[in-house]
Amino acid sequence: MIEADKTVLTTCPFCGVGCQVNLHIKDGMIYRVDAPFDMAPNYGMLCVKGRFGTDYVMHPSRVKTPLIRVNRDEPRSNPPVWREATWDEALDYVAENLTRIASEHGGETIAAYACAKATNEDNYLLQKFIRASFGSNSVDHCARLCHAGSVTGLQLAIGSSAMSNSIAEMEHLDTFIVTGSNTTETHPVISNFLKRAVRKNGAKLIVIDPRQIELTDFATLWLRQNVGSDVALWQAMAHVVVNEELYDKDFVARRTEGFDDYIESLEHCTPEWAEEITGVPAEDIRQAARTYANAGAAAIYWGMGISQSVHGTDNTLAVANLALMCGHVGKPGTGLNPLRGQNNVQGCSDSGGLPPYFTAYQRVDDEAARLKFEGAWGGRELNPKPGLTVTEIMDGALDGKIRAIYILGEDPMSSEPNLAHARHAMEHLEFIVCQDIFINRSGEMADVILPSTSFAEKDGTFINSDRRVQRVRKAIEPIGDSRPDWEILCDLARRVEARMGVEASAGYDYADAEEVWEEMRSVTPDFWGITYERIAREGGVHWPCPAADHPGTPYLFEQEFPRGRGKFWELEYGTDSEQPDAEYPFILSTGRVLFHWHGGTMTRRSSLDAIWPEAAIELHPADAERLGLATSDWVNVKSRRGQITLRVLVTGRSPEGVVFIPFHFAEAAANILTNNLVDPRAKIPDYKLCAVAIEKTSAPDDRPETEVPLTERGAMQDRAQQVH
């Protein structure tokens, strides 16, 4: 029996559930991970990633010292040649280049990617540095690429984009809809609460998804809509609710606006009209609408299947319209709940990692907010113009609007759609800094790598999907010469200020992460009542929490919405997505598998990679038969933007004519194929729908047969979906 030297309570670094984990440390290494039974949100449960995936922290490819690119005169796509540097040398080099670019081309030509994996304290300081030192508001992060449709739609409908209800309510649900979320694989512990609601409480579950996900086994009703037809389906459900007078008249009168115009616009949206578009039988649409509307309390949960669309904003508005009409918001067991992806994607947005906002959605173009931040940041004049989004930053690199990018822990070279376009844009940049624990695809194109610490080597806070502020605690010493992100940023910001000769510093002298949080909460009314001491005592606190004696807010909107009344938005179904044709006859949808996380930077360097070591394209049996393909055959998958090679997994999970590829695998990067067409308001790309062609090929020389036969994978995945 191994005795731990110490056990440290912290927060899982993978998904937005924010499970509390105990890291058992022996000889400076994490040798076991488990979960306390008495702590929200997971109460002892962990999925396979949290329990077995944290060994990436000790992976030999961790960057241990600052690196400066030697072959800068060659194209960025050439393999980098690095030389090791001291911290002083590397930070002076970065400060020199950023200051020069700002003085030659203007500070607004400097952009930053904030990081949904880093702490709130790290992200707060990144946006402070970029906004205060350079006057640039072009700070954005991967929420743009996963939930911007949800954020924009919910802001329009109710004025708030956070998940409105808590994870703790899930187990007690009465009725709920899950749409565009393969929850069992993306948020496994949440899916366990949802399954318990069905099994223990007899809750009614409606799944709306083109793919046969595990939750369909638990569903009262499964509506299998055609990919991209969501607006028509939700409009038809609203039509039924209006037509049969099932809506909540009191709630509509007291809490909403625009209802009369909205129901007029719904007139043609009959279930039969929607059946033509969505492929869902009209009677099922009626039944789903009645089940949701007649429930005492009903919640809606969704994932990237709703938001990652050229119609992501409209999809979200359609969902919000139905919830407002039925009065299923502002009470326990109800709500509009976008399930956030990464561990701290909620916190990164809350910390000011979005172009138009300081912390907690205080707008940069709001004079009072701006003056407050100017006062807190040494009187530095701040820019009132919202900056560029991540997709606009890439375009800006091509037309000279952006000259330098500071990338904190992100990998646009795997997360951007149409990677050939992204590579072309990155090649145009004068200067790229990557601050990360590994050298990822973007890092390979950088001028400087600044090695940062992982979640296990630093202090700070994350905010999970239900707005719960939780602690991250240092459990092991930094690997090599790596330093916490917040500390690197402070050191760099001081060097930039010295070169700029500023009269008063914006303030980068913090003793520890707690001091950063103290400054952050002092300028953020929603965080005022949340301290490290209180988090330690209570485990976590849901924001908004405006005072020390405020209990926090597990569910939102009991009295009113941030925009006052909830607003109904008239919608017109249509599609701007790329459609299949004779040349590219299949629809491609992308997503995750249980064993991996996002670009795979962490999980592909963990023991989980041995279980799920390669990408596979899911192909319907009828399509496989027509193409003469069987599981394990190699295929080229082509779109108008590029081609990848991977093996086939024949399965009925996706409907005929639709294929699915997970996006974790750099050697078969799904985003080489996806389209960079974006939602006009949210600027989120159309990841869930593009047209592809498939042709059989032979095994590439550089891709060995993997140890786990593909035919075993389906069964293994089903077993692993059980949460331990």
In this chain, which stretch among 41-49, 54-62, 317-325, 334-342 interacts with ligand SF4, using CB under 6 A?
Answer: 41-49
Q: How far is the CB of 302 from ligand SF4 (least distance, A)?
A: 17
The answer to whether 341 touches 147, Cβ cutoff 8 Å, is: yes
Q: Which of 46, 95, 300, 382 is in the footprint of ligand SF4 by CB under 6 A?
A: 46
# of chain residues touching ligand SF4 (CB under 6 A): 14
Nearer to ligand SF4, 41 or 443 (CB): 41
**How far is 319 from 332, CA to CA, in rounded Å?**
18
**How far is 696 from 31, CA to CA, in rounded Å?**
43
Is beta strand 20-26 parallel, antiparallel or unpaired with respect to 6-11? antiparallel
Nearer to ligand SF4, 188 or 599 (CB): 188
**How far is 112 from 348, CA to CA, in rounded Å?**
13
**How far is 358 from 154, CA to CA, in rounded Å?**
19
In this chain, which stretch among 14-22, 429-437, 618-626, 650-658 interacts with ligand SF4, using CB under 6 A?
Answer: 14-22
Nearer to ligand SF4, 377 or 455 (CB): 455
Nearer to ligand SF4, 49 or 604 (CB): 49
Residue 19 binding ligand SF4, by CB under 6 A: yes
Residue 17 binding ligand SF4, by CB under 6 A: yes
**How far is 58 from 129, CA to CA, in rounded Å?**
30
Nearer to ligand SF4, 17 or 360 (CB): 17
Residue 720 binding ligand SF4, by CB under 6 A: no
Q: Residue 79 has what DSSP assignment?
A: P
Contact string 140-179 vs ligand SF4 (x = CB under 6 A) = ----------------------------------------
Q: How far is the CB of 21 from ligand SF4 (least distance, A)?
A: 7
**How far is 589 from 655, CA to CA, in rounded Å?**
11
Nearer to ligand SF4, 189 or 673 (CB): 189
Is beta strand 404-408 parallel, antiparallel or unpaired with respect to 616-619? unpaired
Nearer to ligand SF4, 17 or 649 (CB): 17
**How far is 168 from 696, CA to CA, in rounded Å?**
48
Q: Residue 671 has what DSSP assignment?
A: G
Residue 14 binding ligand SF4, by CB under 6 A: yes
Q: How far is the CB of 8 from ligand SF4 (least distance, A)?
A: 16
Residue matched to tokens 């601050």: 435
Residue 289 binding ligand SF4, by CB under 6 A: no
The answer to whether 613 touches 706, Cβ cutoff 8 Å, is: yes
Measured from each CB, the residue nearest to ligand SF4 is 50
Residue 12 binding ligand SF4, by CB under 6 A: yes
Residue 306 binding ligand SF4, by CB under 6 A: no
In this chain, which stretch among 45-53, 227-235, 471-479, 512-520 interacts with ligand SF4, using CB under 6 A?
Answer: 45-53
**How far is 699 from 582, CA to CA, in rounded Å?**
26
Using N-to-C axis directions, what is the helix angle for 120-134 and 513-522, rounded to 10°? Answer: 70
**How far is 216 from 212, CA to CA, in rounded Å?**
6
The answer to whether 222 touches 287, Cβ cutoff 8 Å, is: no
Q: How far is the CB of 189 from ligand SF4 (least distance, A)?
A: 4
Q: Which of 189, 269, 324, 489 is in the footprint of ligand SF4 by CB under 6 A?
A: 189
Q: How far is the CB of 211 from ligand SF4 (least distance, A)?
A: 20
Q: How far is the CB of 593 from ligand SF4 (least distance, A)?
A: 13
Residue 188 binding ligand SF4, by CB under 6 A: yes
Nearer to ligand SF4, 188 or 327 (CB): 188
User: Residue type at 71?
Assistant: N
**How far is 359 from 484, CA to CA, in rounded Å?**
21
**How far is 530 from 551, CA to CA, in rounded Å?**
10
Nearer to ligand SF4, 17 or 297 (CB): 17
**Residue 339, helix vs strand vs coil:** coil
Residue 251 phi/psi, 5-degree rounding, is -60, -45
**Residue 173, helix vs strand vs coil:** coil
Nearer to ligand SF4, 344 or 589 (CB): 344
Q: How far is the CB of 654 from ligand SF4 (least distance, A)?
A: 24
CA-based torsion, 86, 13, 179, 293: positive or negative: negative
Q: How far is the CB of 42 from ligand SF4 (least distance, A)?
A: 6
Nearer to ligand SF4, 188 or 478 (CB): 188
In this chain, which stretch among 13-21, 133-141, 434-442, 644-652 interacts with ligand SF4, using CB under 6 A?
Answer: 13-21
**How far is 406 from 112, CA to CA, in rounded Å?**
5
Q: How far is the CB of 300 from ligand SF4 (least distance, A)?
A: 20
Query: SS in 3 state form for 24-72?
Result: EEECCEEEEEECCCCCCCCCCCCCHHHHHCHHHHHCCCCCCCCEEECCC
**Residue 352, helix vs strand vs coil:** coil
Q: In what order do the strands lie in the sheet with 335-338?
A: 221-223, 204-208, 175-179, 298-302, 335-338
Q: How far is the CB of 186 from ligand SF4 (least distance, A)?
A: 9
Burial of 447 (0-12, 13-18, 19+ CB in 10 A): buried
Interface of this chain with ligand SF4, residues 615 to 644, rule: CB under 6 A: none
**How far is 305 from 308, CA to CA, in rounded Å?**
6
Nearer to ligand SF4, 8 or 221 (CB): 8
Nearer to ligand SF4, 17 or 151 (CB): 17
What does the block give as tokens for 57?
A: 């922290």
- In 409-515, DSSP assigns E strands to 431-436, 448-451, 460-463, 468-472
Residue 15 binding ligand SF4, by CB under 6 A: yes
**Residue 402, helix vs strand vs coil:** coil
Q: How far is the CB of 30 from ligand SF4 (least distance, A)?
A: 14
**How far is 600 from 615, CA to CA, in rounded Å?**
11
Nearer to ligand SF4, 516 or 723 (CB): 723
Nearer to ligand SF4, 136 or 601 (CB): 601
196, containing H or E segment: helix 188-201
Q: Which of 22, 25, 50, 649 is in the footprint of ligand SF4 by CB under 6 A?
A: 50
Residue 591 binding ligand SF4, by CB under 6 A: no
Q: How far is the CB of 669 from ligand SF4 (least distance, A)?
A: 22
Nearer to ligand SF4, 42 or 225 (CB): 42
Q: How far is the CB of 421 from ligand SF4 (least distance, A)?
A: 31
In this chain, which stretch among 39-47, 125-133, 485-493, 622-630 interacts with ligand SF4, using CB under 6 A?
Answer: 39-47
**How far is 114 from 485, CA to CA, in rounded Å?**
11
**How far is 650 from 711, CA to CA, in rounded Å?**
9
Q: Which of 24, 49, 423, 441 is in the footprint of ligand SF4 by CB under 6 A?
A: 49
Residue 47 binding ligand SF4, by CB under 6 A: yes
- Listed residue (204, 202, 222) closest to 213, CA to CA: 222
Residue 660 binding ligand SF4, by CB under 6 A: no
Nearer to ligand SF4, 517 or 595 (CB): 595
Q: How far is the CB of 581 from ligand SF4 (least distance, A)?
A: 39
Residue 263 binding ligand SF4, by CB under 6 A: no
Q: Give the residues lining the site for ligand SF4 (CB under 6 A).
A: 12, 14-15, 17-19, 42, 46-47, 49-50, 187-189
